[in-house]
Structure 1
Amino acid sequence: MNQFILKRPLCSNFTQISNEFLHDNNVSILARGIGVFLLSKPNNWVINQENICQELEIGRDKLKKIFTELIDHGYMYKCRYITFAKKNEQSVFFYISDSKEHLYNEVISRDVKNKISTTQMSISPITKSPLLKNSNTENSHSNIINFNKDYLSFKNKENTKKENNNIIDPLLLDFLSIHLDEITKNNVLKITPKITLEKFKTLFEKCKIEYNLGFSKNFNSTLILALKGEWRFQDDLKIDKKLKKDRRILMSKVEYFKDLYLETKEPQESILNKFIENCKSTYSQDLIDEYSELLKNEIA
């Protein structure tokens, strides 16, 4: 018998799942298992976290992490429909697919377009003004019309300014929708609405490295702090430590060449040249220039 994987043809009660998802080693085996469980449900089955926790006997925090992992890798999408949700009804919905491309085309891109269209601002112009029934009706009518014109002019300028300030790169919106949950995405847009996709991707990858190396306990929190300029990356800390060390050594060299000048009475230019020659193979030109100037003042 030369078959180790035993398969049988099925006509009912089975699920088709793409190997793209099943063999994606970037996703943990547990997340893939939950994904398979969800993909086995009917298309109109509403993904409810509490029900899943009860059915699979899994903790809410653990399931939340699994969902976040699936969202981060593009197999799941989370969105809110607060406008249409009644009190005590579910307003957060999850979509899952075994294909990132299919999920993006069928759900994410449409949701992003809908959000963009609903944020477009419009003004309904005032076409009529109520007439006041008194002896000054004509003047009052004229004043109201003038007020309406001034008000509309002001509102048009105000809204135009707001629209210009709130222009967000659609590609950035797509990227955020694929990789972040709704709350984190909104926080990103609130903190840095004008950030370019390229700059955000660079910061996103740096935060990913911090998280994967264990320097960060929560990826989303790290990303928000980094956008605020409140997160110190390990690479930056290493650079800072090296810079402090270089400055300390250069300061000691300044003291050494100052003493050399006082001992030998060599010309200042000669001492400066020796200092530069001694430093040029090890330190940056900016630092050399800075401490050369310091030495020059010391021996002047």
Structure 2
Amino acid sequence: MNFIIKNHHKNNYTIIYNRFLQDKDLNLELKGFGGYLLNKPPNWIININQLSCELNVGKDKILRLINRMIELGYMYRHKKDVAFVGKGELKNLYYFCDDKELLNKTTEPFRSVATPPQLSLSTFPPLEAPSMDTAPLESPVVVTPSMENTSHTNINYYKKDIEKEDNNKKKTQLTTNLSIRPYLKEILDDFTIVNLLNAKPDLTVDEFIVLYEKATLEFKGGYCNNINSCLVKAAGGKWTFRYNISNSSSNDDTKNHRVLKGKLNYYIDYFGVGSCSKDEILGKFLNECQKYDENLVNPYYRQLKEKLESN
């Protein structure tokens, strides 16, 4: 008697590698998430916002699952070299496979910067003259069953993002400006350094220090969402600093205390009516308070933790 009843569909089905399902490092949630991704066509763009809507879960949870898949080697995140992300454009492209070795082999051109995106001519076998007496007049037609539903692809929605190429990049003093690079590497990531020196190839350390201080104050004042983006725009003369440095100590502290107290009350109420755990609530609170001074945030964090534990 069969207790596991298997179907024998010839189309509209999904193939999953057994080693993926048998991986003890993957919990049930990750296996289900991986199975859902394998149900999509190969050219389906993995988008966090779209997955959140389709699976009816929060974007934080989708991002947590993706990060765990990346840690275990089943996903790869390719960061595109762009300074500013336009509307509908993705900066991070995700690749998923239920076979780690196949994923590593497929994404090798992205992992190695020096590897060209196309194959060299030497890798192709030499052409041979076709034989006149080996091809039969008629060949049997083999129909391969469709293993996936391609009607739900989202490739058209992100067509501009996929086909966009960085052909407009110009050679600047970026490659020769080596004196400031070691200094910048201690503070910024590689992509920001490239965009910064593209915006201002002759940037000096003293100029960078001034720009960085102003961008930091701009971020703390709530006038920008990202210090690095503000920094690159300012270096290229495309950003006007609006934060008044004279309004520093007393006014800022009063405003920050008011904002943090509001966030504290919000997450206490949110925990009472929401479905998030205590750890998720605390994580969300800290994530939103990153731009504030740690010594200012800690008392409100402790208050929130005590309130959650008492409920």
> What's the TM-score, normalizing by structure 1?
0.38
Give the structure with higher Rg (CA): 1
Of Structure 1 and Structure 2, the greater helix share is in 1
* Structure with larger RCO (C-alpha < 8 A, sep 6+): 2
